[in-house]
Structure 1
Amino acid sequence: MKIEFYQLGTVEDSKLKYAVIYSTYKEEILLVKHKDRSTWEIPGGRREENEDINATGNRELLEETGALEFNINPICEYSVEKGEVESYGRLFTAKIYELGELPNLEISEVKLFDKLPMNLTYPDIQPALYRRAKE
């Protein structure tokens, strides 16, 4: 597996399929747990058809965390190459000021951490995205 980072605007927009949002709340890392998994992940998800990738970041942050008040900023684009398949996304940072009720969608739990836990959903990808977001 190979992960690469690119400056904003250097990856063709149509290739950007994912938005991942490194989020903090009360100075801690906010991670989520999907209803079908027992592991933790950085909030994010797939871009919908004809959706602006920045709108994807906003939507996913709200849907997966219940964030009501926040500042979100795109920081870079990235690619993940796994075998013959390469996928692209945009990485965001978000500072959450107010959390509301978690929407009844795919996320079962939101939790705060002082560092990334060991039981990550994507242990080969998420630490690299976390390090890049912290830079």
Structure 2
Amino acid sequence: MMEVKFYDCMDVEDDKIRFAVIVARHMGAWVFCRHRDRPTFEVPGGHRETNEDIRRTAERELFEETGAAEFTMSPVCVYSVTGKNRVNATGQETFGMLYYAEIFRFGEKPESEIEEVRLFPELPSEWTYPLIQPELIKRVMASGFFGK
């Protein structure tokens, strides 16, 4: 069983936050990525590097996975996931920082594991993390960053 929880940014110690996930939009469309080894879609995000500020992680991952060249980004909250999944073999609670980004311009996407970046007018049905990412998107929508 997978459990997603949300926390105020000040309630979780910074060194526990291992991931940055960015729910992004461009001209009213949702921005999703498809990993070269999977047929499903996911929002941009990834692991924090050693000694990296979590906001820098989010900015780096958004650029590396989508080619976003001009954007605004706002923190939404800290989230956690408990349960085994593709990035958590133990199933223990892991923490990430959730961001919302509005992308104004894309540049050339660097070479990476991301095969495709796609804009969706509606949320896709083929999720890589179907028990996690829809919950993160609901949280962003409830936070009032854009019209529901």
Pairing 1:115–2:116 present? no
Partner of 2:111: 104
User: Unmatched 5+ residue regions in structure 1?
Assistant: none
User: Normalised by the size of structure 1, how large is the TM-score?
Assistant: 0.97
Partner of 1:129: 136
Alpha-carbon displacement from aligned partner over 1:36-57 (angstroms, at most 9, x marks no partner) = 1111000000000110111100
CA shift, 1:102, in A, is: 1.4
* Secondary structure in 2 matching 1:103: coil
Give the AA of the match of 1:85: Q
Counterparts of residues 1-135 of structure 1 (less than 5 Å): 1-82=2-83, 84-135=91-142
Q: Please give the root-mean-square deviation of Cα atoms over the aligned residues, in Å.
A: 0.9
Q: Runs of 4 or more off by more than 2 Å in structure 1?
A: none
Alpha-carbon displacement from aligned partner over 1:57-78 (angstroms, at most 9, x marks no partner) = 0000000000000001111000
CA shift, 1:115, in A, is: 2.1
Residues of 2 paired with 1:74 and 1:106: CA distance?
Answer: 25
Residues of 2 paired with 1:85 and 1:95: CA distance?
Answer: 32
Higher strand share: 1
Alpha-carbon displacement from aligned partner over 1:3-56 (angstroms, at most 9, x marks no partner) = 100111211111100000000001110000011111100000000011011110
Identity of aligned residues (%): 47
CA shift, 1:106, in A, is: 1.1
User: Normalised by the size of structure 2, how large is the TM-score?
Assistant: 0.88
Give the AA of the match of 2:99: F
User: Unmatched 5+ residue regions in structure 2?
Assistant: 85-90, 143-148
